[in-house]
Structure 1
């Protein structure tokens, strides 16, 4: 599949993805997702001693890759060795899923497809791509057309996982409102909250926590969202999660079964 152009997050300035250096992929590059696998990074989020084999893919590197072609062109442009060229394919070459990632999807595009949830060759839906690249208007269009928010990608990732990993707060709210499972785990048992904690996205973390995200869940590396935030120096996310845990602890410290004070208790 041709890969969509990466777009900026709608998050505030202090919400920045730290999964990989931001590199805008070319839409006409081939096997976009398979190239991401060549990083061979460990899926460990906590930075502890536990490591997976290098051939095991990390769920926290969703569909990013270094585009060597574009890097070479950019270098040549800086040196004045070549003229600027449009890196994007012609309109006829941009398919349904690529348009979703670019934020250029229209109602007519949706109507032309047999299903709004049609998958590409990587088993991804248009909603997956739009959520990953933070395309708010496209996500809203797809939801209005009945897109299933709980369909899973090839690594059992939901659209919410991808939105949370990029710190796309508004999209996170939209998906939750549409019925997305906030505690769904992917193939590495990572939750959307873990993605948000890894990327240091406090607003996304708070939105997930306010809607029932479970802080106690652990992934296959025995990390919780809180330990992931600590180990990755995600200070903003750590503060949000820690405050949530403190508030829960304080709420439990007052037993709901305690009887109200009697008149004798008051007098004494």
Structure 2
């Protein structure tokens, strides 16, 4: 299967996938990560895979910090927690070391149960992720609903972080509380480059969640046409390779 993926890489660049989730499914406008990955059916208590994005709708950076407005007078001082700064790519090696002196380990959690690495992965901050892992962050750390940094990176289409986490031992086949894998999140979110990074690890393409849905089925259901096309190419390449191997 890895050989089949290599054939696809010629037609796929390595840029980070562009977020394509519609605005109405975004999490609350909060500076905190949203940890729920399940919805309840209106007529029952059966869990349904939902693919709610874990990233908050807006970041904690102000327009002034972004440079979108003239720096004249700011009456309110913006104070960010270490988790938030990790999510904004504003941590340094010295700051990580200083935080380690205050905490027992670098995987200390915020009030919602997320580690700094969850934040960095969710927001696509590769340098932050690298600093945290170098300081001992667990790439397979579980947040609420059994969410790992890899799932967050895949949900956001951050293929460079997905590659980095996989290279550092992240479990590519890990499932959240309702059986969703990183590939399922990437496929549903219409992130073909991220799908390609995951498929290159020769993972189980036919895996299903609690609703019996595969990554391909979710791409179709969510109208994720780019991911759907990539997965169809992958399936064709696998079938072709299998046919040639039987000759």
TM-score tier (shorter): 0.7 to 0.9
On the 8 A contact 2:49/2:211 being kept in 1, the answer is no
Q: Which moved more, 1:247-256 or 1:108-117?
A: 247-256
1:180 to partner: Cα distance: 0.7
Q: Which residue matches 2:11?
A: none
On the 8 A contact 2:122/2:152 being kept in 1, the answer is yes
Matches within 5 A, 1:151-166: 151-166=141-156
Q: Partner of 2:145: helix, strand, or coil?
A: coil
Q: Which residue matches 2:19?
A: 16
- Supply the distance in 2 between the matched residues of 1:204 and 1:52 (Cα, whole angstroms): 35
- Supply the distance in 2 between the matched residues of 1:104 and 1:244 (Cα, whole angstroms): 38
Residue 81 of structure 2 corresponds to residue 90 of structure 1: no
Q: Partner of 1:155: helix, strand, or coil?
A: helix
- Supply the distance in 2 between the matched residues of 1:87 and 1:221 (Cα, whole angstroms): 51
TM (normalized to structure 1)?
A: 0.69
1:149 to partner: Cα distance: 0.5
User: Whose RCO is larger (CA < 8 A, sep 6+)?
Assistant: 2
- Supply the distance in 2 between the matched residues of 1:87 and 1:208 (Cα, whole angstroms): 46
- Supply the distance in 2 between the matched residues of 1:52 and 1:135 (Cα, whole angstroms): 40
TM (normalized to structure 2)?
A: 0.75
Residue 243 of structure 2 corresponds to residue 253 of structure 1: yes
Q: Which runs of 5+ in 2 are unaligned?
A: 1-14, 59-71
Q: Which residue matches 1:145?
A: 135
Matches within 5 A, 1:49-60: 53=44, 60=51
1:186 to partner: Cα distance: 0.3
Deviations 1:93-147 (A, max 9, x none): x222111112111223322232111122222110001110111211111122221
Q: Which residue matches 1:109?
A: 95
- Supply the distance in 2 between the matched residues of 1:130 and 1:87 (Cα, whole angstroms): 28
On the 8 A contact 1:123/1:154 being kept in 2, the answer is yes
Q: Which runs of 5+ in 1 are unaligned?
A: 1-9, 44-49, 68-83, 259-268
On the 8 A contact 1:117/1:147 being kept in 2, the answer is yes
Q: Which residue matches 2:180?
A: 190
On the 8 A contact 1:101/1:130 being kept in 2, the answer is yes
- Supply the distance in 1 between the matched residues of 2:195 and 2:172 (Cα, whole angstroms): 11
| 210 and 87 in structure 1: CA distance in 2 versus 1, 3 angstrom threshold | farther
On the 8 A contact 2:158/2:194 being kept in 1, the answer is yes
Q: Which moved more, 1:221-230 or 1:118-127?
A: 118-127
Q: Partner of 2:144: helix, strand, or coil?
A: coil
1:253 to partner: Cα distance: 2.1
Q: Which residue matches 1:74?
A: none
